Chains A and B, each alone.
Chain A
Amino acid sequence: MRFTKLRWLAATSAAVVALACIGAQAAPPRYGGTLHVKLRVASVSLDPREWTPGSLPAAASEKLASLVYDRLFTLDDHAKFQPALATDWSHDTSGRIWQFKLRSGVRLSDGSLLTSADVVASLQSSLGKTFEVSAAENGVAIRAAHPAPDLLERLASGAHFIVRREAGGALLGTGPFFVVESIAAAPSEANPTAIKPAKIKFQANEGSWSGRPFVDFVEVTLGEPPLRQLLDLQVGKADIAEIAPDLVRKGRQEGLRIWNSAPQTLVALRFDDAFDTPASDQLRKALWLALDRDTMANVLLQREAQPADSLLPQWLSGYAFLFESPMNLQRARELRAAFPAGAPGATQPLRLRVDAPGDLYKLMGERVAVNARQANLMVQAALPPASASSSPALAPGLHLIAWHYDSLSPQAELEAFVKQLLGGAELPANTTDPEQLFAQERRLLEDRHILPLVLLPEYAGVRANVHNWNASPWGDWRLADVWLDSEDPMTTKTPARPQKNSFTARSPGARP
């Protein structure tokens, strides 16, 4: 068992240097105000158990969950794990048994103390059956079925928040904010044909163990159209808003400050299980050779995306550059010519269902159909059916999907990808060796059940009045560190800052 005191020391030093740098900024930080945030998704859940791995709503939910919950630790931008609810950790030489010392005296948003039982329950739920989580002296112990040298990466990302579940279903966290108001989307009173978007309001947690956040409130509006969000940024109705990749150029031209993450979303084609036959190999290969990823990234997405040749992005795996997807229409046509009569994609069209939401993905689906046609393949793009009880005759053969990377562990990400998209298959244990992980990913790509198209970064417009914006490359916005430099006219009606430790005034429920 090797205690990592040096890591703790390094983490503390880094935090102190960061604080020193913050303190040395020219403009003094300011407490107060309401931060107005606009997200594209129409609904979120602050219950990590409800998140579908890799989905875009889960990614937005995770972003908001980080306001109200904490993890055991975080990863900084310099590859160092920083203590959060855990102050120290150690593991045995095999990496199977881990021990975490918990920070003492941490309170949940209702004022009660966080217990090791809360941590055990949260992590057992999020880690699943291959990990056994138990309470230990001053902390928790995690025993993995297989060596898990990437456990820290797993726990510092994804759904591994520490959440207390009350008997009534309410969720409590220790984060820098708590939910004070949640309004569902509803028809507008003035114009019943229009829908008022859903809103969630978060209030600063005065007793937060990590320090009170600078802003008093974060008000999040969900589901507004991308162009509307851009307009809201320009007129000051939003301080931070997601920007669709196809609007980034417009935003830049209009002088907006635009931040982008490392590529966070993989757009790909996924074949149904029905195409898991040797006879379908030629179809999958022909379509793979017909796809013009460069045009999708550079023309359709105006250079705001990257052509994708791999399942995991380069920033996460470090080896993605080894994969190539050369377009070869001639070879694709040759393969198509050899199809048997009546094969899907030959005389009967292959139905492509655009599962990812939004016009952008629809356009990409249409582009795939154009590429396929160039190789004499018949692909027909269609939006998903309105109801789940659609006729089996309309079942698609191909899906256009968007996969959001949730984990900082490449192995965990690939595991989730395979489990979610490839029928529950599991990766062999101990693929944390990068060479084995590469071999596994190469095998998946060579099967061609998933054809990567493009990688999209996350884009956000940030108004000039937002200071100390220091989002991580993997998309953690760190809103507790953000401060506003002046009282926004929209925030003048907000109530005064609550009294310290006024826990009784709070709504304990974190579920919007």
Chain B
Amino acid sequence: MRAFALRALGLLVLLLALLVCGVVAAQPASDDDSAASDDDSASDDDSAASDDDSAGDDDSAPSKDIASTESAEVDAVTGEAEAAEEGGAVRSEQWFGSADTEEGVPWGYFTLLLLILTTGGLMLYFTKQAQAGKEMFIRRMPGIDAIEDGIGRATEMGKPVLYVPGIDDLQDIQTIASMLILGQVSKTIAEYQCELIVSCCVPIVREVADEVVRAGFYQAGYPDAFRPEEIRFIAADQFAFCAGTNGIMLREKPATNIYLGRFFAESLILAETGYLNRSIQIAGTAEATQLPFFVAACDYTLIGEELFAVSAYLSRDPRLVSSLKASDYLKVAIVTALLVGTILASFGNTLMVDLFSLTLPGN
């Protein structure tokens, strides 16, 4: 724990150094801009002075002055707008909150930051407790238990397991969660000496899946059983990927299909094809619009947050299970805040509403 804290401190220093580098790298362009605008305003002052000198000589001078002042104002506004916007984004000078809210205290951002820091703190606290030997309870989740059963079934039937990590990019948290689960699944598959096919829609997800499965096989003690050609990039287009994955289901007849990640309209097409193929199907997504389709067509469905608990559940690693406990505590806090907020709002008090209000870009 102490070593980790020291490491974290060192990294924060590195983070600050990186930040300074970024700021320095971005500095010259802004200085040039401001210098140029300073020069412009200086020349405007000069012209104004010369206009003042000639004011008594020329009757038309006042109107000219007004015109030049107006044009200078327009230039200044345009210049400010250009300075304020770069590539369509607001160039904010604020160091906390939203770029869109120039006034008031951004309470919502404080609350969210507090929630994240509290979760992190609770996770580290429960991790320490787990390392000290305290038992962490985690409720049974039939959908996750079915993953191992499905792998066993595929092994007995001599057929492969098909794993689909959704169709979104790697930066999506559901895809990240899916990759973490794939690590555990591939380890179990290697132990069972079963075949695994991973069908990917995004090339970089395939590359990560390749490494994750390789590590899983290596960790299980069967590095030679890993076959990189079974981690397949199908197509970057949603329906082309769907057609390709359906083709795998119909030709290679996997005994178990696992869909974990972010899905869109292709979810039901995949799940129904798997149903027609008589495969055991386990799905999990936090995409609320696709959940009904999975519930209708799959044997087991992991709903919302369950997707993010799979990795901890499968590994039974006390550090990971303790993180679930941390998020459960936070859930209790949020439910309490919801109840208190509802009561306060019913009496016309907007304290909780203000505390949880965020101004998101574009809203």
A interacts with B: no
